[in-house]
Amino acid sequence: MAFVASAIGVGAVTGLIGASMQADAASSASERQFQATQQAQNQQLEMFKTLNEQQAPYREAGYGALNKIQSMLPEFNKPFTKEDLYSNLAPNYEFMKQQGLGATGQNVNVGGGGSNVDLAKTIFAENYAGNAYQNAFNNYQTQQSNIFNRLASIAGLGQAAQSQSQQLGQNVASNVGQLGIGGATALGAGQVGAANAWAGGIGNVGNSATLAAFLNRPNAANNSNNLGTIPSNSASFQSDLNTMVPQSIQTA
């Protein structure tokens, strides 16, 4: 019977060692998984930093163009002035006007001349000036539109770059958050697994000690007070327990 009790004691210690190894394995695996999530988080952040820096020149160009548009709003919204008319007339306007007046006078002189020459020249000058005014106004409008469209196009590049950076930032934030949750979950699972392993090992030690005490107890008829008493050699179980089980778990 003593041999059987000793075998039970050896099995209990062996089970406790196995529980220790299982707990260490659970903790180690969870720690490695947590470190992997941290590395993944760092890679995500580094990627965002790199891509965000690449988008910076486009954003800066867009900001500059937008500021230029804002500074030119008074110019874009002002009415067409006499100065704008003169600055947008065709360079050959005066030459072509004089040529047209001369040709008109000659044609009228052929038909009879007189006061009709002055009238014809006046009509020609008014018509020619009206057309020139419309052309000058169209030139002005086209020039203003071209300036605005170029600046707006550059501002659009900045806006697109800003949108891409914002979307990238949202994606990275989401990924980093999920990785953080996964890392915390892994650590928690490792701690729970280690605790369960120790709990199982300690429970086996208790069961083994109880069984050993039962097998080694004196005959119940001779000494009923010794029923269920753990034998003196069960102190080895406590020594093993103190050696193998963390104090925090024993006192929990």
**Whole-prediction pTM:** 0.59
2-21 residue pLDDT tens: 444 454 454 555 555 656 66
Q: What pLDDT score does 71 carry?
A: 96
Work out the pLDDT band at 235, boundaries 50, 70, 90: low
Q: What pLDDT score does 175 carry?
A: 86
22-33 residue pLDDT tens: 666 656 666 767
With 0-12 / 13-18 / 19 or more C-beta atoms within 10 angstroms meaning exposed / middle / buried, residue 9 is: buried
Taking the C-alpha atoms of residue 104 and residue 110, their distance in angstroms, rounded to an integer, is: 10
Closest by CA to 155, choosing from 47, 31, 30, 69, is 69
User: To the nearest 5 percent, what fractions of the chain are helix, strand and coil?
Assistant: 90, 0, 10
Closest by CA to 186, choosing from 31, 72, 82, 48, is 31
